[in-house]
Amino acid sequence: MSHSRTVILFWQLAILAVVLVVWQWGFEWSKALLPKAYVPKILDPYFIAKPSLIWQSFLRLGCFSDAAGFTACITGSDNNLWLATLVTLKNTWWGFLFGSASGIAAGLVLGRSDFLARVFGPYIVALNSIPRIALVPLVILIFGLGDLSKIATAWLVVFFVVFFNTFEGTRAVDRDQIAAARLLGASEFTVLRTVVIPSALAWVFASLLPAVSFALIGVIVGEFIGAERGLGKLIIEAEARANASEMMVAIFVMMFVGILLAIAVRSLQSYLLRWQPQFEH
């Protein structure tokens, strides 16, 4: 059974409206209606703020309601929402880029060489077994509180995910396709460029979508543990002041950043993999 787009959209908006209404007024209503013991603590604005407060915090942090004016606010304060988002986004991007580039390169090299795969195999498995988060304090010790440590953290998280997928993808290349390319005159390098890489690309992309989320997670965790700027730093500061609405602002901005990054990767994917049925236009 297929439902029209309008029906789907109606229900989506209805759910959003209910959530927002309960979030905004649910705690007051339940306080008025229920005995004290049954008032749900989870709805307390002290913990989860409420939409109107979050909106006000957003306007303030985003320099929209500053007395000095938008430009003065942005240039004046060190950790306003715009700057924090920019820093987090930038570090996520570089971490993702370096992580996936090095993961793809290592995956291709080990995927094409049985010797190297067998030599490095146990080391990679061992390193991959370390929970990446455990390494974050070490990374900050080495690279300091600046952007470099955040990029390094994101790299750590992204590299292995992309590496393993590229490795498997390289191993799964159709041998007859390689033989066909050779018989048509392809050299070893041409086979890599025209057969192995395009063929492994589907596997690579399967990892890039989670990898971009992981990069964001890596950067945020790095910012939690030690940072001067960024959305993670904003959350930690808000926590110190027990300001739930400011935390929520940072969380929502992260949500949008995450969505935008995923859309970017997905559109690149559907262009490069347009030969596959699921990406048919």
Is residue 278 a contact point for other proteins (CB under 8 A)? no
Among 48, 201, 204, 217, the residue binding other proteins under the rule CB under 8 A is: 201
Residue ranges in 77-136 that form contacts with other proteins under rule CB under 8 A: none
Q: Is 183 in the site for other proteins (CB under 8 A)?
A: yes
**Residue (of 17, 79, 13) closest to 51 by Cα position:** 17
Given 181, 206, 209, 262, the residue binding other proteins (CB under 8 A): 181
Distance in Å, CB of 277 to other proteins, minimum? 6
Select from 68-76, 94-102, 123-131, 176-184 the region that touches other proteins (CB under 8 A).
176-184
Residue 270 engages other proteins in binding (rule: CB under 8 A)? no
Considering the complex, state which of residue 118 and residue 274 has its C-beta at the smaller distance from other proteins: 274
Tally Cβ neighbours within 10 Å of residue 66. Answer: 18
The DSSP code sequence of 184-239 is TT--HHHHIIIIIHHHHHHHHHHHHHHHHHHHHHHHHHHHHHS-SSSHHHHHHHHH
Is residue 88 within 8 Å of 154, Cβ to Cβ? no
Residue 33, interface with other proteins (CB under 8 A)? Answer: no
Lay out the site mask for other proteins across 146-175 (x = CB under 8 A, - = otherwise).
----------------------------x-
Distance between CA atoms of residues 211 and 264, nearest Å: 13
Task: Work out the angle between the directed axes of helices 114-129 and 147-171 (0-180°, nearest 10).
Answer: 130
- Cα torsion at 158, 159, 162, 164 (round to 10°)? -130
Q: Catalog residues that contact other proteins under the rule CB under 8 A.
A: 174, 176-177, 179-186, 190, 194-195, 198-199, 201, 273-277
